[in-house]
Structure 1
Amino acid sequence: MTVRTRLLDREVGRALSSVSAAAKRGLGDPALAELVVIRASQLNHCAFCLDMHLTAARELGVSERQLDMVAAWEEAEGVFDERERAALALTEAVTVLTEGFVPDQVYARAAAHFDEGQLAHLIGLITAINNWNRVMVSRRIEPGGYPS
């Protein structure tokens, strides 16, 4: 496996960073944002992003139990509240798109817990981390080496 060290053109990298930051700010819940990006990174097999965002989640005080169970959130009754579960369901639907679209019931579930602005930021966050995951996986960037 060849590690490719240059991530992106600086302008593209700054743009992706700006989108990620804006989406997180607009969502207004840093811990939830980290759970979302962790779940997408798990689905996309992005070790770099998992390492970075698990560290960030711990720094925010996200419980080890939640971090341990995020991969099995659907079966982890009582570990995640309904808002978190709706966000994780939307994360999976947007990330995987197995049906070619986000199912109406998944969108409606999220819309019941987030206002229009928050929902737009949540979707923005999910698409941003999917972009980052694809960059890191395609460039084979190894975990670590990011500012803490």
Structure 2
Amino acid sequence: MTVRTRLLDQAVGQAVGQAMSTLSATARKGLGDPALAELVVIRASQLNHCAFCLDMHLALARKYGVSERQLDLLAAWEEAEDVFSERERAALALTEAVTVLTDGFVPDEVYERAAAHFDEARLAHLVGLIVAINNWNRVMVTRRIPPGGYTP
């Protein structure tokens, strides 16, 4: 079955895209760690099954020096304790909690774990980045945008 790409209204789509781009850029800049940012957005994109974002952010992760081992084991980060730092693991746990919202909220222990590794400003930017990539994932899977359209 061939999947047809769905387009959004051009004017509305551009305005929404610009607002989302601003949020993404602001969150990334405030987090201040491009490699960690890529791990976070890749993990959310894995959970959301967004092939376009995975393709894009895997390329960016390599550009920012994320190791192939981390990329290979990201889906199983909880079991790969020696591959990810405690700070990265805290960010990934928060990413999963915000992305999945299984219990309808982010558990206190997950938030506190992240707060132990990020000051208040960086934690706010981390949450902003997680929210931003979840927005992008949802837009791209709604539009059925296939991978391969991004070049770094």
Query: What TM-score does the superposition give when structure 2 sets the normalisation length?
Result: 0.94
| CA root-mean-square deviation | 1.2
Residue 23 of structure 1 corresponds to which residue in structure 2?
27
* 8 Å CA contact 2:24, 2:133 repeated in 1: yes
Alignment of 1:70-81 (within 5 A): 70-81=74-85
Q: Give 5+ residue unaligned stretches, structure 2.
A: none
Shift of 1:146: 2.4
Residue 11 of structure 1 corresponds to which residue in structure 2?
15
2:149 to 119, 125, 145: 145
Residue 69 of structure 2 corresponds to which residue in structure 1?
65
Q: Give 5+ residue unaligned stretches, structure 1.
A: none
How many residues are paired up?
148
1:107 and 1:2 mapped to 2: Cα distance? 39
Residue 40 of structure 2 corresponds to which residue in structure 1?
36
Superposed CA deviations along residues 72-101 of structure 1, whole A, max 9, x for unmatched, are 000001000000000000000000000100
Residue 48 of structure 1 corresponds to which residue in structure 2?
52
Shift of 1:11: 1.0
Query: What TM-score does the superposition give when structure 1 sets the normalisation length?
Result: 0.97
Residue 130 of structure 1 corresponds to which residue in structure 2?
134
Superposed CA deviations along residues 86-145 of structure 1, whole A, max 9, x for unmatched, are 000000000000010000000000000000000000000000000000000010000121
The runs of at least 4 consecutive aligned structure 1 residues that moved more than 6 Å come to none
